[in-house]
Amino acid sequence: MNLNAATLDALAVHLETAERQARDVVKITDEHPQMDWEDAYAIQDRIRALKLARGSRLTGLKMGLTSFAKMKQMGVEAPIWGFLVDDYVRPDGGAIEMGTLIHPKVEAEIAFVTKAPLRGPGCHIGDVLAATDFVLPAVEVIDSRYRDFRFDLKSVIADNCSSARYVTGGVARPAEELDLRALGIVIEKNGEVIATGAGAAVLGHPAASVAMLANMLGERGQELPAGTFIMTGGATEAYAVERGDSVVVRYQGLGSVSMRFV
């Protein structure tokens, strides 16, 4: 690690305050170019601690940048992970308040809930499917705290991978009932189809994203406990939304998830 504890603390407060005030900031590596990967996750861990200390409840984990479309859109090259808390949850069909966000974008994701622990290294798709209780559709609303979504990978990890809101809905089903690679996804905004995708866009198979998460956590001596909710990453690019927009995402065999931006 290259940053000292006081700097990590200060950067966590800086980013979490920007999130709560819906105010954008410049990417933190501009001022701290020596920041390394461990520093980035240490800042994210501190943001998680700040939220839990304030009474938030951890609801799951997410993978980000797991599709080539997303990596290309953001000009970065590797998947990353973040945490989810109850403050981010909004109900299916409900309203998302634009006044609490900076420049939100929506992502269509397939989520897993585990029934057995997963621990890397060496975790693979087969392990994930054996440990999966059910899968369900999710829409993530990301909202980078960085001005104009301009960041590098370390800055975005520190910013909890742009996590802001998420909505689950549709139908929860056992993974073995579905062909998760071929599972089609249709994103509609204001009644028009704006994107289509398939499960295979996420690292070839959405379960590969969960395996990668278990392996990355394993490098830190951590595991994915049974009962963990995991969003596997957007199957397409992320799409910007504005006040007044209404979004519906349809998932083959899993129903749909919708929301309004007010």
How far does CA 103 lie from the centroid of its chain?
16
Q: Is 13 left (phi over 0), alpha (psi -120 to 50) or beta?
A: alpha
Q: Which is nearer to ligand 0L1, 65 or 214 (CB)?
A: 65
- What 8-state DSSP symbol labels residue 55? T
Residue 162 binds ligand 0L1, judged by CB under 6 A: yes
Q: How many residues does the chain have?
A: 262
Buried b (16+ CB within 10 A) or exposed e, 178-190: bebeebebbbbbe
CB nearer to ligand 0L1: pick between 37 and 226: 37
- Residue closest to Mg ion when measured from CB atoms: 140
Instruction: Provide DSSP, 122-177.
Output: S--HHHHHHTEEEEEEEEEEE--SBGGG---HHHHHHTGGGEEEEEE-S--B-GGG
Cis peptide upstream of residue 137 (ω within 30 degrees of 0): no
Residue selected from 19, 39, 127, 140 as contacting Mg ion according to rule CB under 5 A? 140
**Residue 161 near ligand 0L1 by CB under 6 A:** yes
| Contact stretch for ligand 0L1 (CB under 6 A) within 4-12, 44-52, 231-239, 241-249 | 231-239
Minimum Å gap between C-beta 110 and Mg ion is 11
- Separation between Cα atoms, residue 217 and residue 213, nearest integer Å: 6
Out of 43, 96, 212, 238, name the contact with ligand 0L1 by CB under 6 A. 238
CB nearer Mg ion, residue 32 or residue 163? 163
Does residue number 237 form part of the binding site for Mg ion (CB under 5 A)? no
Query: Per rule CB under 5 A, is residue 143 in the interface with Mg ion?
Result: no
Write out the residues near ligand 0L1 by the rule CB under 6 A. 62, 64-65, 70, 74, 107, 140, 142, 144, 149, 156, 161-162, 233-234, 238
